[in-house]
Structure 1
Amino acid sequence: MDGGREVVALPGEGPSLRFEILGRPAAWRDGRELDLGPGKQRAVLAVLLLTPGRPVSTASIVEAVWGAEPPDNGANVVQKYVAGLRRVLEPDRSPRTPGRLLTLTGAGYALNVPPESLDTQVFEERVKAAQAVRDATRAEAMLREALAMWRGPALAGLNGTFFDAARDHLEEMRAGALEACADAALESGEHARLVPELLRLVAEYPLREGFRYLLMLALYRCGRQAEALAAYRDARDFFSDEFGVEPGERLRNLHVGILRSDPSLALPAAPDEAPERPEPPAPRFVPPDPPHAPTPLPAGPPGLAHPGPTYAAAPAISVLAEQHVAAEHAVWTVPPPAGRWFPGPLRALIIALPVLTFGLATWALVAYIAARRHSRRLGLMAAGHLVLWIAFFAVAGSGDPEQTTWWDGPAFLALVVTMIGGPVQLAIITAGPRPAVHLGGMPNVQLIERRVRREQARALALHHPSIARRLGIGRPDLPRTFDDGGLIDVNSAPEHVLASLPGLGTYHAKLIVLARTAHGPLTSVDDLTVREILPYQTVHILRDVLIAVPPLTDAAPPPVE
């Protein structure tokens, strides 16, 4: 073992030789990295390492390395790079002796690498061995050892369609190993430690439902049922917005099980093991608590999450904040029905006009409302009123007014319907709910304006953080002229401002201030969850008003007044 890497000798080779492509392509002999030459020569080696032991034609190598812009004499260039690789990989070989490691066959060039000398094959074998182990704790350790072989993005530094496809395939292998590792850790009872890591993996692999499934299950086993349900809502919103589909059956079944508190979702007890009495935890420093402070959660091992205090939010606080924000959100998403409500004076005039005009205005008013509401039914009613009024006018304008005929009765009835029935109908169709109003009396127009201002402030903070700092974005406690729509900056807002947020209080505000002071500023609002400062549910429902403005590197003038 050298530098954490196994050294394996190739059959027939004196010195040990091994290859790596789980990161920057490299070759090692006796713990010393070899100089593989120029970038194109390194790319030729990578093509051969992706199909170890199998010949690759010269045309395929040219297409993989150069893509749509091959050199004029591709076969000669490939031959030149192969000769350079032979000098590096087989330095003791005589120029007239056929190569044993990099050979030329009728089908092309082949690199004869034993499985134990190539990191991708070692990685696959370790993953298979770990998946065959029944002990979850041991399987997790073996999978983490295999994942430690990755030194960064696979085939780093190599570009092109061929390498992109190969990189995606290798990344899919890594994602599968990560999911299997998290599954094994969850099975061994490490759900509290896994939550921050699974949050990161869901963000890194949003299309893999497996990570979302494990996150929901881990949250549920931590006693954070509301957060598990919120994670499902996030998954459903993501797949619906991006692809117009619902989550898969496995995720939906887990959601139903969490709603029902299905006992089968609890951690299964180990067979033939008597339950042991847990030892009392060692004394540890805890920040000052309010009378009903949240319960501390066990912190995970180093490297799995950012440092920071670990706390679980009280369910009552989370539910209260969700109800408050949900009420405000409902005003955004459910506008009042168009044209359903008319002010009192206007509605009285609409009802009186048919009587004042002897039914002439009835059809026009109904037609106007039908056009506003795009209602075909009201449009047919307007046409009926028009036909009735025309019938009355035709009868009244023909014949002798001093003589009574049989059609005078229907004509009078038509007049009654348009002049008396019309106001009744208009009174019914103009009745409706008043426009929705925010909890604090703020109408929808002002809410929309606030949201637009928030988005503008977020864009300014993203592209020009120094200007955002000087304008005081996220600092309602400072005098300023720039309206950011009510944003709160978690990196600079004082404790009393953070404590005023719905669902938070002095306790959680102190945690935020302590975390940003002791461990540096937050890079995003999601860091509140990743650092385990606030539970996922609370961050999710406050996301609309929170912002993390990057700090200034140099001293900056105070906010603009």
Structure 2
Amino acid sequence: MDARDAPTLRFEILGRLRAWRGEQELDLGPGKQQAVLAVLLLNPNRPVPTTAIVDAVWGEDPPDNGANVVQKYVAGLRRVLEPDRSPRTPARVLQLTSAGYVLHVPPDGLDAEVFQKRVRGALTARAGAADAAETIERLGEALAMWRETPLAGLTGPVFDAARERLVEDRAAALETCAEVELDLGRHARLVPELIRLVNDFPLREGARYLLMLALYRSGRQAEALAAYRDAREFLAEEFGVEPGERLQNLHLRILRSDPALLNWQKPPVQDPVGSTPGPNAPQAVPAATPPAWTPMAGAALARRQAVERTERQLRVGLRITAIAVPIFTCGTLSWAVVAYLAGRRRSARLALAGVAWLALSLFSWLTISDTSELRPIDDVAMVAGMIAAIGGAVHVAVLTGSGWPSHKGGAAEQAEPDPHVVELIERRTRREQARALLLHHPSIARELHIGRPDLPRTFDDGGLVDVNSAPEHVLALLPGLGFQNAKLIVTVREVQGPFASIDELIARGVVPPEVIQSLYEVLVVLPPPVDTPTTGTPAAGTPEAGGMPPPAAPEVIRP
């Protein structure tokens, strides 16, 4: 019988390497022999050249007769895998071909392949008409095959790469299982498992996404925001980058208390940023504090931090060079370094010091250069030269002690902040103050004309624009909006009633989603006074329209 039809032989690599014949575990021999088998199992039913086996098992320290050593271990594996085969009978499980050694693994004979097969089946079931419970059951069967770290005890680049790939497959399956569990509303009991998943795979943003969503649905909004902050700090410290767009969008939706996040009857991970809840979706209270971080600002900060690191390294190199110049030139160029610093800092005292160093070095070298006869003044010149060398180096070290000057003008050695960055921060602060006022005191916000740049006012709101009251010409000036969309906004709010949220501009088909997403920074929604009658058909989300009533406070939204 062909070995590929033998159902009793099976192998396991999702943990310590093991082989079974039926219920009997096989003794695979010494460590190097097991490593040879592992290389073959990473390429089941495919030829593996002898050189590839040697490179994988021995790495940079191969044996002198690598092919013969591999042949010896293959013979040992054949005795283990086919104990009843006579020496003259050709091997059937582990064969030698012109392309290399081939290990014939029967169908479902390798646990890693069975795991991947079951995961694919679960994903197919999820995409089809199967219910969530069936998907979870299939994923559970696949994940139950894992015992410990795959290929435990085997070292080398080949095994490390295979181990990393298998671990990533497991992490992806765990995330998929958690997504399905969230679809079923099991967010509270998932939190501990997701925390453990994040700790095990800190680089996977999908796990952090699911943890934030589970925390938020469990009524733990502050912890969800803290989880995002932890992710951002980790990525910034380790790699100098910001979280991905998907994670940032979830953070923004949590800050806005987006009601769609609480609707777990549909897969939450598929919801776009600008999605709106159905008529029966619960309404959440808007966040009191708007976000102070945007994707554009985060990217700009990351670039700025990279530039600052480069500048720091450059300043350290310049300082070392400046200190070394007086020593290696025996004091003849001490005056040049001090004069350069005097020019950078526009310091008259440093200029005088540079002149003094120049005079000292000239005296030293002009005196010593006269070698016609030995004079007592020559000893003084030697001391002057040493002072110019050592004293100049010490002087430069003191002058550059707090860092190499990075700009011209003034004695301060720290660069002045970028006026553009300062302006952006001040504007953001003013917008946050205005949004807080909109949230807690909408009547005062109306009196201060927040969101109405066309009206005279004494309160600076940072350039906010209210879509419920701003005139057409003000809306048309917003980037990407234009006069046509501005006119449509005014017409819709007059006919159908005021907007309850920024997302409603998308829901009513007034403005494309990509335009709204770019304007979240400046758009606000201030509901009209309670006693102000509205005309037209009821707005979506009102009791007259058959949905949930709009929130009493204005929605505070930022990207």
Short-chain TM bin: 0.3 to 0.5
TM-score normalised over the length of structure 1: 0.46
**Structure 2 length-normalised TM:** 0.46
